[in-house]
Amino acid sequence: MTFNKIAVLGAGLMGHGIAQVFAAGGKSVAIYDPDGEVLAAAPARIREIFELLELDASGVDRVELHGDLGEAVGDADIVFEAVPENLNLKRKIFADLMALTKPEAILASNTSGLPIGDIGAELEDASRLIGTHFWNPPHLVPLVEVIQAERTNPAIVEPTIELLRSVGKTAVHAKKDVPGFIGNRMQHALKREAIALVENGICDAETVDLVVKEGFGMRLSVMGPLENSDLVGVDLTLAIHETLLADLDRSTAPQKLLRETVDAGHLGMNVGKGFRDWTPEQADAARKRMRDHLVNYARARLKSS
Ligand SMILES: NC(=O)c1ccc[n+]([C@@H]2O[C@H](COP(=O)([O-])OP(=O)(O)OC[C@H]3O[C@@H](n4cnc5c(N)ncnc54)[C@H](O)[C@@H]3O)[C@@H](O)[C@H]2O)c1
């Protein structure tokens, strides 16, 4: 399979970053968004990413804008859907894509939470449908989870992974279409325990964050949890699990503390309070810290590639 023409549906937060990834990788990219203003703003937003990453911004010239879906996807070899997280909207788009794309084009959804099988449930033939879960911001975070749903043709998985790797992404294969795929399952297992620690009075929210950032979190970007088990000895993990697992939180619904925090309107940095209190200066500093970290990492990765 060759992928010369890429189409991206939705030029929002994820879509414009996904488009930049492929344009930077030398591909022709067609973007479709029904919102004319968002569409028109895409080239400038994409150029900003090229400049941020100290890349040759002429790559923006490989991006075409389309206000018509059929024109955007007609000659695409693969389509990345990044429209709002709404099941009916995504179902309608993939039904339209079946009629508007080449019969061999791969159709990929960037859904963060909807099962790929549900998105394709009404399609007679869902063999071309696959999940490609980019992480935010897609131009800075290397990971893309490629999700093989029950009806996905297994033959399209490897070419999709190869395409993503060819433009510098770290593409991994989720062999089953489970909720949260791989990364969000682990992330939310950690959040459940973090909330339980606060709810049960063991420590406050600030302490939870410090323990991660100044403790085991320091290791995580250079050594994953299973590599770490191998480092210290898998028997040690077994011994710890024998005593610890029965005591960990096993809530099967959102915890009371989370619900109460949301019900109180404490929605996070944007309103000055979430699990923790935020002045506007503290919130800006936290956002900058995250952004600088991701940008520095992405620049270093590009230099070493
Ligand atoms: N934001 C994140 O952190 C994140 C991370 C991973 C995955 N995702 C997923 O990516 C998808 C897009 O999220 P986002 O944050 O970019 O949303 P967004 O709201 O920023 O952008 C969505 C864009 O889609 C456009 N749109 C609406 N209807 C459309 C249609 N019929 N065809 C084409 N475009 C249409 C909108 O005009 C908008 O510009 C969602 O499924 C989301 O769950 C988001």
User: Using one digit for the tens of pLDDT, what is the confidence trace for 77-131?
Assistant: 999 999 999 999 999 999 999 999 999 999 999 999 899 999 999 999 999 999 9
Q: Which of 32, 83, 118, 290 to mutate to test the pocket of ligand 1 (most atoms within 8 A of CB)?
A: 83
pLDDT at 125: 97
Q: Name the fold adopted by 5-174.
A: Rossmann fold (3.40.50)
Beta carbon of 11 within 6 Å of any ligand 1 atom: yes
Q: How remote is the CA of residue 133 from the centroid of ligand 1, in Å?
A: 12
Beta carbon of 136 within 6 Å of any ligand 1 atom: yes
pLDDT at 1: 84
Ligand 1, atom 7, residue with closest C-alpha: 112
pTM for the whole thing? 0.96
Instruction: Using the predicted structure, report yes or no on whether residue 305 has a pLDDT greater than 90.
Output: no
Beta carbon of 108 within 6 Å of any ligand 1 atom: no
Domains 5-174 and 182-253 share a fold: no
Sign of CA dihedral 221, 225, 227, 228: positive
Tell me what the mean pLDDT of segment 180-190 comes to.
Answer: 97
Please tell us whether the domain made up of 182-253 is placed in CATH 3.40.50.720. Answer: no
Tell me what the mean pLDDT of segment 142-161 comes to.
Answer: 98
Per-domain residue ranges for the chain? Answer: 5-174, 182-253, 265-305
Nearest atom within ligand 1 for CA of residue 14: 16
Q: How remote is the CA of residue 111 from the centroid of ligand 1, in Å?
A: 9
Ligand 1, atom 2, residue with closest C-alpha: 136
Beta carbon of 9 within 6 Å of any ligand 1 atom: yes
